[in-house]
Chain A
Amino acid sequence: MIRKILCGAGALGTSLYAATAAFAQEAAATASAAATPAPEATASAAAVATTLIKAPTVEQMAGMVNKGDTAWMLVSSALVLMMSIPALALFYGGLVRTKNMLSVLMQVFMIVSIAALVWVGWGYSMAFTSTNSIAPAFVGGLDKAFLAGVTSGTYAATFSNNVYLPEFVFVVFQMTFACITPALIVGAFAERVKFWPLMLFMVLWLTIAYFPIAHMVWYWAGPDFLPDAPTDYGYLWGKGALDFAGGTVVHINAGIAGLVGCLMVGKRVGFGKEATPPHSLTMTMIGASLLWVGWFGFNAGSNLEANGVTAVAFINTFVATAAAALSWAVVEQIHHKKPSMLGAVTGAVAGLVAITPASGFATPMTSIYLGLLVSPICYFFVSYVKNKLKYDDTLDVFGVHCIGGIVGAIATGVVADPALGGQGYFDYTQFPAGVGAYDMGAQVITQIKAVLLTLVWSGTVSAVLFYVIDKIFGLRPAEDAEREGLDLSEHGERAYNY
């Protein structure tokens, strides 16, 4: 059985490798076809270049805001909020037993609410500033705590020279990421954790794990300011780690926290002996479908503009997911002779996770390969590894988000290569920004380093926080309360009254 899976994975991998050569040739052909109109493009680019403004003032930035970009980013923010509520809430909720449904819905809903307040409190400042910080490469300061200085007349940089967003738009968009990342974690120890201690954990985890990692991977001075301040960036950004929409910041981060959590909280009462099948795969499917739709905001919105690269991220998010869903269904057909609905949606989510860091860098075809590749790998972890090591990662936060995120993060180093049609590496120390030379081997190593740093940082912080909170407040409910169901014992209500 396992040999079949490994053979299948090997076959997929070999075909990926073989096909990339074919696609590289296609990409080269398209590039030379595109080269013909280049002289016109460079002429107009040169004309534009002379009017680009380096280090613009706030008044100048006001004239660099595009209504299409702003509208798209606000819509994206709403889509990402929808990914938390109700998508993630229903996806997770349908997978637990009836007696614990509300506890999952409540945890996700309240994490979103609390995280939003923490974000506008000190989160945004810690993640996206670098002034007055004890260690500016690792975390920001508190200059923008409680959104001090952020008004309808201040602006946030995008990835293009002289293109800006109203700062509130950027705050709101990133806020939705800070809301969903901690909510992902709860799946790992669903059905066995007390509500308020969990909320306390989330506030501390956001502060000590999420904001610094977001800062390290995503903070930088912006394309118009970096040339004059060439070290004003987060540690991993400076190393050249590529993470378009949050493979490391969101999925690996939450995934490893989930694994640490499920190991430290311990297994559910009756785990391995009592049957705990999902109470409503209908809800899970609804949740997964809303996740897919919302993820267009998550990935394509991470381009911060409404342009061609946004469209690339959008279509990659579409086809990688489709391929991953199909891939999981095929693996199940081979392994169990029956493809399941739960498998299909899990595959889709794994594909979404994997394409997240690569979404703006890959091509649709390389995205499909990534989708086909990630499902067997995640399948291996959620069925074989989890059963062998017998840890109770209830909703497969580690197996899908952490492993899928690692696959995606490393694959980003491969698919971003212009030789495979990828978007390549931009040298933002120049003004205007130009395309830098791409070294796939070095990039993959950088990606691996970013993955390892995230695993160690988040894993360690999570372990310490779980330990301390458990000692002071206790994380697990009493056995009776757990048996009765968290809905009644923690929240005093039933999900279903019939």
Chain B
Amino acid sequence: MPAMGPVAKQGQGMKFIIAIIKPFKLDEVREALSAIGVAGMTVSEVKGFGRQKGQTEIYRGAEYSTNMLPKVKIEIATSDALAAQVVEVIQQTASTEAIGDGKIFVLDLASATRIRTGEAGDTAL
């Protein structure tokens, strides 16, 4: 059973970053993150809303207000040192200065393990 990662010490822990962005910004964000050394990420297609309103769809007289808008969610596990830079890069690249650009959340990450080798901690990222 792989060992749990080291308890996060100040400056040596890990962060889990969740960013919700507009779908067409994905490629730009990915390239910008590569440039600062982010090795991988998980991308999913999601629906959601904030202050951006959806459209009204009408099917034969039946009206539906869709509050849900298609977005892309990026999840990145990163070391504490890189976290702030990642947030800044995502914010700058994904912004169109319009409502609906999205949000970035940072969570503390308790452990990370590479499945192939069983390595844990920072080296697993």
Contacts and interface: CB of A to CB of B under 8 A. Distances in A.
A23 B67 CA distance: 52
Contacts of A275: 64, 66
B60 interface: yes
B61 A384 contact: yes
Interface stretch (A62-70, A335-343, A412-420): A335-343
A224 interface: no
A343 B64 contact: no
B58 interface: yes
A120 B62 CA distance: 41
B67 to A, nearest CB: 10
A396 B60 contact: yes
A149 to B, nearest CB: 47
A278 B66 CA distance: 14
B69 to A, nearest CB: 15
A277 B61 contact: no
Contacts of B66: 275
Interface in A321-354: 336, 338, 340, 342-343, 346
Counting chain A CB atoms within 10 Å of each CB, the highest count among B59, B60, B66 belongs to B60
Interface residues of A, number: 17
Contacts, number: 26
Interface residues of B, number: 8
Interface in A166-203: none
B108 interface: no
Nearest to A274: B64
B47 to A, nearest CB: 12
B28 interface: no
A382 B64 contact: no
A382 to B, nearest CB: 5
Contacts of A384: 61
Interface in B52-72: 57-62, 64, 66
A307 interface: no
A343 B59 CA distance: 8
A54 interface: no
B60 A342 contact: yes
Contacts of B58: 336, 338, 340
Contacts of B59: 277-278, 340, 342
A25 interface: no
B95 to A, nearest CB: 30
A30 interface: no
B61 A386 contact: yes
B121 to A, nearest CB: 36
Contacts of A133: none
Interface of B: 57-62, 64, 66
Given A382-B61, A383-B61, 10 more contacts: A278-B59, A338-B58, A340-B58, A346-B60, A379-B61, A382-B60, A384-B61, A386-B61, A387-B62, A396-B60
Q: What 4 A-B pairs have minimum CB-CB distances, sorted nearest first?
A: A383-B61, A275-B64, A382-B60, A382-B61
22 contacts: A275-B64, A275-B66, A276-B62, A277-B57, A277-B62, A277-B64, A278-B59, A336-B58, A338-B58, A340-B59, A342-B59, A342-B60, A343-B60, A346-B60, A379-B61, A382-B60, A382-B61, A383-B60, A383-B61, A386-B61, A387-B61, A396-B60
